[in-house]
Chain A
Amino acid sequence: MKEFDLAIIGAGPAGISAAVEAATMGASVALIDENSLPGGKVFAHTDNHLDPFERGIRSQLLHHLEKVAHKVAVFLETEVWNILDQWIVSLYQRGLSGSGLTDIKARKLIISIGALERILPFPGWTLPGVFSAGGLNRLAKMGIVPGKRILIAGSGPLQIVLAHNLLNAGASIIGIVNVTSPRRISARGLELISAVNRLVLKSGLNYLINIKRHKIPIYFSHAISRAYGINEVEGATIVRVDKSHRPIRGTEKQITTDCIGYGFGLIPSVDITRLCGCDHVFDEELAYWRPKLNERMETSKPGIFVAGDCLTVKGYLAAIEEGKTAATEACIQLGFTNRKHSGASLAVSAKRLKRFKRFARAIEAVSRPHSGLLDIISDDTVVCRCEEVTLRDIRSAVAEGARDVNDIKRRTRLGMGHCQGRFCGQVINELIWKLTGNIGKREMFTPRIPARPIPFGILAGECGS
């Protein structure tokens, strides 16, 4: 079994900067990512498809990584499907040729697997042509426009970025539906402006000017309540919502659209930290689970560190700082540096991070969805996309006595599919509470291995050999 001082799971901005920092200090590093290139989701594109600022950051990261290549073993197209104590990381190398299972051993772990999209089911959201906002943004950045009349719906700053990228790709956007009320935004406006990074503010304003110039209607305090169509989406209904995001009957409007980009921003991806048994807390203000860390970026499991958007969602500039910090803390434990020597650079990162954190918290608190939106989910709405479990199925399970998420999972298969509950798991607590009329304890599905789907033949082959 190959041994490393440090294994880093996720080669996005946080993972790469952590690898560079640790390797520079002398640690041997394994850098693992499921994609075919390092860079994470944000830099998944080739240079042609990034704006100049992003291009600069990406090439800088990759250049630094190149310089320490002799200390860093990069595992691409590789899924982490299990982690055992002290730390044995089980890998599934996917590549179309030569796929297989291997284990590596590492003295310390950094988990930097990034974020995933915050979703809320609505009737018709499984129709082809309804994309997650992040998914559609990815296409737009590649210059691909999968529709002639595009509707953007949900909330959060990603909407503005998506609209901008779509317009640049030549798309025609027929509306932006945003659940947030302008009043909620203005209530924290000062806080947002005071905390925003200058570069973010500048590009944000550019994006807004671009949207304004194209005269795209923006529907604040509105949500999408249904998408319809036979094989593909052909139209949508939008509806006004009240303060708690409950749809207001009689305010529905029909919109003809063949492409919808839908999402409510990002939330930390916590399945790997949960698999490791790290403690997590539910952040009530931001409405998401995040791993619990001490001031040294270490989880409740000594030797496991977390950096980037899988801790709290702050974007790639913050992720780079957190990656450096987590790597330095790991290297202090490993004896490659000490606090006296690295104190100054830790302090610089901490100072930069403070501002990012303040801004991210303010903007997420403003744009998060509220529970009234659950009223949009009808009985025949698919809640678990993978196993096609509808609200009606959940209702019958509750009627039969199911009261917690794992019981619902056992009875309905909700959360058992390919995505391993990473989408339906976001709403199942609230749905149970709504159906029973009692707010119970918030919980997540019990983590199970394999954490990522592995073809059965490969697992069986491993057992046979």
Chain B
Amino acid sequence: MSSEKRRNRHPKAEQNHTFQIEVDGKKIVARAGQTIAEAILDNGLKVFRRTRNGAPRSFYCGMGVCYECRMIVNGAPNVRTCMTPATPGCKVVSQDESLMKVEW
């Protein structure tokens, strides 16, 4: 459905090259110009992390204020994926804060 229309509406965007990134060990396709969060949501995934009480959380404000979309990117925790461009081969892991020892 939407992919068909999307192709018509954003012809230039479709010409952009695509590449793979790794999310929780699975390879997903990202388009150039996308942030990590956008690539994840574009692939139909919604849960970005779990709070220390185990509640699922996702991308929320999309502008770097809420920090809800924070994930572990190339080993660095608490990276706001809504502000971080996806780069070929980057490794992203969802943060399970109930298992993290460090208190922030």
B6 to chain A minimum Cβ distance, whole angstroms, is: 5
Q: Check A194 for interface membership: any CB of B closer than 8 A.
A: no
Q: Are B67 and A169 in contact (CB under 8 A)?
A: no
A274 to chain B minimum Cβ distance, whole angstroms, is: 15
Pick from A138-146, A283-291, A294-302, A362-370 the stretch touching chain B: A138-146
Which residues does chain A contribute within 8 Å of B61, judged by CB atoms? 116-117, 132, 134-135
B17-39 vs A: 1/0 string, CB under 8 Å?
Answer: 00000000000000001100010
Q: Are B2 and A231 in contact (CB under 8 A)?
A: no
Using C-beta atoms within 8 Å of the partner chain, give the interface range for chain A.
Answer: 35 or more
Assembled-state Cα–Cα distance A146/B70 (Å): 18
Q: Are A170 and B85 in contact (CB under 8 A)?
A: no
Which residues does chain B contribute within 8 Å of A169, judged by CB atoms? 2, 5-6, 9
Of chain B, the residue at the smallest CB distance from A145 is B2
Assembled-state Cα–Cα distance A138/B62 (Å): 7
Q: List 9 A-B contacts (CB under 8 A).
A: A116-B63, A135-B82, A142-B38, A145-B2, A170-B3, A385-B66, A388-B53, A418-B66, A419-B66
Which chain B residues (51-86) contact chain A, with CB distance < 8 Å?
A: 51-53, 55-68, 70, 73-74, 76, 78-79, 82-85
Assembled-state Cα–Cα distance A143/B1 (Å): 13
Which residues does chain A contribute within 8 Å of B13, judged by CB atoms? 48-49, 142-143
Q: Are B10 and A49 in contact (CB under 8 A)?
A: yes
Assembled-state Cα–Cα distance A168/B6 (Å): 8
Assembled-state Cα–Cα distance A450/B78 (Å): 16
Task: Give the number of A-B contacts (CB < 8 Å).
Answer: 134
Known contacts A126-B55, A128-B57, A455-B78, A144 near B64 by CB under 8 Å: no
Using C-beta atoms within 8 Å of the partner chain, give the interface range for chain B.
Answer: 35 or more
Q: Check A321 for interface membership: any CB of B closer than 8 A.
A: no
B residues lining the A interface (CB < 8 Å):
1-6, 9-10, 12-13, 16, 33-34, 38, 41-42, 44, 46-48, 51-53, 55-68, 70, 73-74, 76, 78-79, 82-85, 104
Q: Are B56 and A232 in contact (CB under 8 A)?
A: yes
Q: Are A131 and B60 in contact (CB under 8 A)?
A: yes
Assembled-state Cα–Cα distance A129/B84 (Å): 20
Q: Check A171 for interface membership: any CB of B closer than 8 A.
A: yes
Assembled-state Cα–Cα distance A168/B10 (Å): 9
B84 to chain A minimum Cβ distance, whole angstroms, is: 7
Assembled-state Cα–Cα distance A458/B99 (Å): 23
Q: Are A36 and B62 in contact (CB under 8 A)?
A: no
B75 to chain A minimum Cβ distance, whole angstroms, is: 10
Q: Check A386 for interface membership: any CB of B closer than 8 A.
A: yes
**Residue among B12, B57, B63, B64 facing the most chain A CB atoms (10 A cut-off):** B63
Q: Check A130 for interface membership: any CB of B closer than 8 A.
A: yes
Which residues does chain B contribute within 8 Å of A46, judged by CB atoms? 33
Q: Are B85 and A128 in contact (CB under 8 A)?
A: no
Contact of A96 among B3, B68, B74 (CB under 8 A): B74
Q: Are B65 and A419 in contact (CB under 8 A)?
A: yes
Which residues does chain B contribute within 8 Å of A48, judged by CB atoms? 10, 12-13, 16, 33
Q: Check A64 for interface membership: any CB of B closer than 8 A.
A: no
Of chain A, the residue at the smallest CB distance from B12 is A48
B28 to chain A minimum Cβ distance, whole angstroms, is: 13
Assembled-state Cα–Cα distance A134/B59 (Å): 11
Known contacts A139-B38, A169-B5, A128 near B58 by CB under 8 Å: yes
Which chain A residues (158-182) contact chain B, with CB distance < 8 Å?
A: 168-172
Q: Check A127 for interface membership: any CB of B closer than 8 A.
A: yes
Q: Check A155 for interface membership: any CB of B closer than 8 A.
A: no
Q: Are B6 and A388 in contact (CB under 8 A)?
A: no
Which residues does chain A contribute within 8 Å of B59, judged by CB atoms? 131, 135, 139
Q: Check A423 for interface membership: any CB of B closer than 8 A.
A: yes
Q: Are A385 and B68 in contact (CB under 8 A)?
A: yes
Assembled-state Cα–Cα distance A232/B48 (Å): 11
